[in-house]
Structures are given as C-alpha cells and as structure tokens.
Amino acid sequence: MSNVPRHTALDATHRALGATMTDFAGWDMPLRYASERDEHNAVRTRAGLFDLSHMGEITVTGPQAVNALGYALVGNIGTIGLGRARYTMICQEDGGIVDDLIVYRLGETEYMVVANAGNAQIVLDAITERAAGFDAVVRDDRDAYALIAVQGPESPGILKSVTDADLDGLKYYAGLPGTVAGVPALIARTGYTGEDGFELFVAPADAEQLWQALTEAGKDAGLVPAGLSCRDTLRLEAGMPLYGHELTTALTPFDAGLGRVVKFEKEGDFVGRAALEAAAERAETAPPRKLVGLIAEGRRVPRAGFPVVADGKVIGEVTSGAPSPTLGRPIAMAYVDAAHAEAGTSGVGVDIRGTHEPYEVVALPFYKRQK
C-alpha cells in the first residue's frame, strides 16, 4: 500500500475554500472549513454540504446477485424493493462485524453496496470471495463515483431548485436516478447526521459542477460546506455507530445492540449464521455490555478508550466522545455492564486522566429531529 493520500474530485474546491485537510482512511479529506461548531449548527438548523467521495461503492449484478449478497451479508437482500436501500452488515464466520453497509437496489438484478472508506477493500475482497459460487459479477466501483451529501432541514428545498426529480415521493432509504444541476445522479434520501437529507452519487468529472450548483442554490438558505469533524458530532448526537468505535470485529451485531439487522428467517445460509445464532441466544440470557449514551455534568470531554467507572470499579468503556453543540455539554457513547445501562442510572463516571468525572446515563439517541 502506498502512503500517498488519495484525493477526491473536489480536492481543489476544498483547498480554495480554505479547508483544513486531514488524512482519513488513506484519503485527504476536509476536516473543517471554518468553525466545526458553526458547520454542525448549520446542518441542524439550515443545511450543510459534504464531500463523501471516500466511501467505497461495490456493484453486484447478475441473475444470482441477490443470492450472492444474501449469503455474503446478514440482512435479507431479497426483500429490498426496486429503488430502495437498506442498512445491513457483513460479518466474519465468528460473527464479528467486518463493516456496516448500505445496500441500494438499482435494478432488477443490480445492487450497489456502500462500505466505509477504511473497510472498502476488505469488504470488496470478502464479497468477491463469497460470491464465487453464484452467477453474479462483483465490480469495484470506487473510482466510478463521487458522493456529495446535502443534509439539514433546508436540504429538500435546496435540492428541489436544481432538479425536477420527484423528491416528495422519495422516501427515507430510497434512491432514484435523476438529473441534478444538469448532471446525471443517483439521488438517495440517506445520511449520517440525524437530519433529513440526500446523498448524490455522480461521476467524478461532474462533482465540481454539482458542488458549485448546490452552493449557489443554497446561498440564501444558509447552506455551508461541512467537514468530517462536524459529521462526527452530528452522527454522535444522533446515536449512529461508527466503524472502529462502536462496531469492530470483536463485537457481533447483537453485542452492539443492532441484532435487528441479522435476518435468520431469510432463505439460504449466510456467512456467520451459526455464530450469530449463538450470539443472539447469549444476548437474551446473559446480556453483554450495552451501548448507552453518557452526558457530562462537567465540561471535560471523554474520548474513545476512556474507562467508565462506578463504585470504584471499571464497568465499561467510552467508544466515542465529543462536545455536543446541540446539548451544550460533552457527550459520549459507551459500552457498559447491563447493571448500569438503565437510563437515569446514577453514580456513573468517566475516568478522565485519573479524575472520575460524573456522567448521566441516557438512552440513545441524544438528539432526534422533529418530523
């Protein structure tokens, strides 16, 4: 692997906007443009524009594409309607989470799997290997797409002004082909911010034209470019898991409280089934640590890996932590022992460099938008 970071089609645009760039999963990505708090608040109240071109697209086509994906992934791919999308996972034989994914059904026998940037190669290799016995073709489409997201309450109005696609008829977790600002795009009503919004898959050569058109269209609505830093605080407030933090190969979907994505009732075998059946049983009889929210009483920010303590004992570990612009206090997600996982549990703290800072246990998510 070369250590030269990859650049998205919008790299020059980000630099012209004065973005602070950072290495993320081998990509040079915008961390923030000005103030991450302002970017966060813009997405919550108006709209933000994100470059997500580092995500990994894998296309699976052919008469048995659905069977190949059904075997490779834990979800029931056969029940995804045409033009719809589903959140699912790919697991190891031992049930450990390889990645969480979104699968879009683009055609009768055509599916697009979107993987996290850091796992894209691993997921591509795993799906390719698992699809070997099926009449299906797995294609690496990572270079075929740029991905631009417009997120926030003003995003439907902004997007409507540059497309004649039927956005009102586009449900959450659905995608349809259309033209946006004169550019062919797959328009998906998906996102990772807890707000309404859209993700637009386009040819890399069209990315700059689309970005500029959306910037212009969103000018009066308060749209701002938004970086990875606020994407992280937005998803944390929305209680959305991040691979490498809440999800790892050491955890099954049941450990992560996401057992609902595993569909045992689907036809045919799938990789990890036996291990996941055992994990489901364990979760019912002796629940493992549970993923909870923690809200600080003070001002010190917990970080991933910090111990969660109660009565002088370690009862868990922080997986993600940050100041919450919406709540005005530091927040964290953490896995804690079931005995301390009830919302309102008192006497829980986070060991921040030797000091036990008091935290309140709350149910996730921290933030839910008003529909």
Task: Give the pLDDT confidence of 91-108 residue by residue, as tens digits.
Answer: 999 999 999 999 999 999
What pLDDT, in 10s, does the model give residues 22-67?
999 999 999 999 999 999 999 999 999 999 999 999 999 999 999 9
Tell me 300's DSSP state.
Answer: P
Q: What mean pLDDT value characterizes the chain? A: 97
Question: What residues does each domain of the chain span?
Answer: 6-53+145-237, 289-371
Q: Is 39 helix (H, G, I), strand (E, B) or coil?
A: helix
For the record, the structure tokens of 15 come out as 């630099």
| Whether the predicted pLDDT of 174 surpasses 80 | yes
Which residue's structure tokens are 């927040």? Answer: 331
Q: Which pLDDT band, with edges at 50, 70 and 90, does 2 fall under?
A: low
Cα separation, 16 vs 52, whole angstroms:
18
HSE-up of 367 (CA within 13 Å, CB side)? 24
Average pLDDT for residues 349-368, to the nearest whole number?
96
Question: pLDDT-derived band of residue 225, with 50, 70 and 90 as boundaries?
Answer: very high
Q: Cite the beta strand spans of 44-171 per DSSP E.
A: 47-51, 56-61, 85-91, 97-107, 110-115, 137-140, 146-151
pLDDT band with cut points at 50, 70 and 90 for residue 370: confident
**pLDDT digits over 257-299, tens only?**
999 999 999 989 999 999 999 999 999 888 779 999 999 999 9
Query: Distance of alpha carbon 350 from its chain centroid, rounded?
Result: 26
Q: How far apart are CA 57 and CA 102, in angstroms?
A: 10
**With pLDDT > 90 as the criterion, what percentage of the chain qualifies?**
96
Whole-number pLDDT of residue 279: 96
Chain centroid offset of residue 100 CA: 8
Using DSSP, state whether 177 is helix, strand or coil: strand
What is the rounded average pLDDT of the residues 74-103? 98
- The model's pTM is 0.96
Q: Which of 2, 21, 115, 14 is nearest to 60 (CA)?
A: 115
pLDDT at 285: 87
Whether 60 and 68 have beta carbons less than 8 Å apart is answered as yes
Structure confidence at residue 288 (pLDDT): 77
pLDDT in tens, 297-346: 999 999 999 999 999 999 999 999 999 999 999 999 999 999 999 999 98
Reported as a pLDDT band with limits 50, 70 and 90, residue 246 is very high
Q: Which fold has domain 6-53+145-237?
A: Gyrase A; domain 2 (3.30.1360)
Using left for φ > 0, alpha for ψ between -120 and 50, and beta otherwise, residue 241 falls in beta
User: What distances in angstroms separate CA 357 from CA 180, 291, 354, one per listed residue?
Assistant: 49, 19, 9
**For position 3, what pLDDT does the model report?**
76
pLDDT for residue 287: 74
* Whether the predicted pLDDT of 203 surpasses 60: yes
The CATH class given to the 289-371 domain equals: mainly beta
Report pLDDT for 286.
81
pLDDT average, residue stretch 167-178? 96
What are 17's two structure tokens?
A: 């906007």
Q: Are residues 76 and 268 in contact, defined by beta-carbon separation less than 8 angstroms? A: no
Give dist(CA 188, CA 175) in Å, integer: 4
Running DSSP on this structure, what letter comes out for residue 163? B
Does 145 score more than 70 pLDDT?
Answer: yes
Residue 131, pLDDT > 80, answer: yes
Residue whose entry in the numeric block shows the structure tokens 């009732």:
265
Q: Does position 1 have pLDDT exceeding 60, yes or no?
A: no
Residue indicated by tokens 């073709």: 137
